[in-house]
Every structure is written in structure tokens, then in C-alpha cells.
Chain A
Amino acid sequence: GQQLNQSPQSMFIQEGEDVSMNCTSSSIFNTWLWYKQDPGEGPVLLIALYKAGELTSNGRLTAQFGITRKDSFLNISASIPSDVGIYFCAGQTYSGTYKYIFGTGTRLKVLA
């Protein structure tokens, strides 16, 4: 099935560092979502973006909806150990109802 491309695939960072990751698609989306998944849990919604060019923050997280509508970016500032997990982007499609196509994930590991 279709999946969006996320990069980097994984990253190790030091506590306190800023993190950047992105998600690209060959298709246009009208909505982008970012989720975080902890081991043994389902994904939890972090940020939703509804408009091209939109920049939205949620605490230390900032996400942007690319102007081409084919990409999105997530930044985490001043990372802490609990930021460890897998981050997924998801693009929304509509075919009578809404469904989400997920990215391949970025695995984040924070070194204390």
C-alpha cells in the first residue's frame, strides 16, 4: 500500500538538542497530521495542519504544511528523554469519507 516518505528514518540526539524531520509525498494533501507512537501503544495525535503554508505549534513541537501541499515538517525544540518514540506523518485523503495515509516513520532516540 501507499506510504509517505519520512526522513530521517532514525536519529540519535542529545537531550536539549532541537530535532527536525520531514515527510514527502507524490500526491497533494489537504490536511497533514503528525502522530507519535510509543512502544506497545497506538499513535497519538500531536499536531494537525489544514492549510498550505500553515505553521502550528504545540508546546515544544512546531509543524509546517508545505506550500506545495506535498510535504510537511516537524520540529521538536529542546528535546527531553520522553520524546523517544516513533513519529509518523499522515496525509488525509477524501473518497466519500476521510482516511489517512501514513508515513514510514522517524524513530527518535534521546541520549540523556
Chain B
Amino acid sequence: DAGVTQSPTHLIKTRGQQVTLRCSPKSGHDTVSWYQQALGQGPQFIFQYYEEEERQRGNFPDRFSGHQFPNYSSELNVNALLLGDSALYLCASSLGDGQYGYTFGSGTRLTVV
């Protein structure tokens, strides 16, 4: 039973470019949340998707956008990359509203140069 899978595992981009990160939730889960984890910090909530709609959003600019597909997989897009966007991006899945916690993927390490 596959857990949460994320791709790619590592990525290097140049300032101003755009990036797309991908996530497949754990089997049986229908909700996907995205977190940004800067070096030495705890994860920060970006947004959550359920039934292909953004259900809740954290304090991130509109440069961060997402999408959820009918098979529950999700993408995180970041436009006009800044050096400060360098971080580990974690995808977490849950069943329904996530009341009992999330299952996290291993993350995508994004480096902006």
C-alpha cells in the first residue's frame, strides 16, 4: 500500500522561473495539503485541496497556486520564484477533513538560485 509520493525529490530553479511539484496521496485518502518547510523550521501550511477545490489557505502569496485532479492527486505551482522560496515542500494526505492527522510524503527539495 503506497504512502504519499512526491516528485521530483530535488529541483534547482533560477529566480523568476516557475515550478510545478506533484503529489499522489495515500491510497484511500481524498484530501491533499501542502506545506513549506524552510531549513531549520517547522512546516508552514500553504493550502488544502478537497474535491478539486481549494478549501483553506495559509498566509502565502498568490504566486503559490495548486490543483487537485479527479484521482485526488495534486500539483503545487509557484510562479516568479524568489530565493526565499527555497525549501522542502511537503505534501500530506488525509481522508476527509483531516481531523485525525495527516500522512506526509518525503517532500521535494526546491533550491532557487
B-contacting residues of A (Cβ < 8 Å)? 1, 3-4, 31, 33, 35, 40-45, 48, 88, 90, 92, 95-105
Contacts and interface: CB of A to CB of B under 8 A. Distances in A.
Nearest to B35: A102
Given A95-B56, A97-B56, A103-B42, A33 B101 contact: yes
Given A42-B106, A96-B56, A1 B44 contact: yes
A47 to B, nearest CB: 10
Size bin of chain B's contact surface: 20 to 34
Contacts of A33: 101
A90 B43 CA distance: 10
A97 B98 contact: yes
Interface of B: 4, 31, 33, 35, 40-45, 48, 50, 55-56, 58-59, 90, 92, 97-107
A97 to B, nearest CB: 5
A42 B97 CA distance: 20
Prevailing SS type, chain A contact patch: strand
Nearest to A48: B101
B33 A99 contact: yes
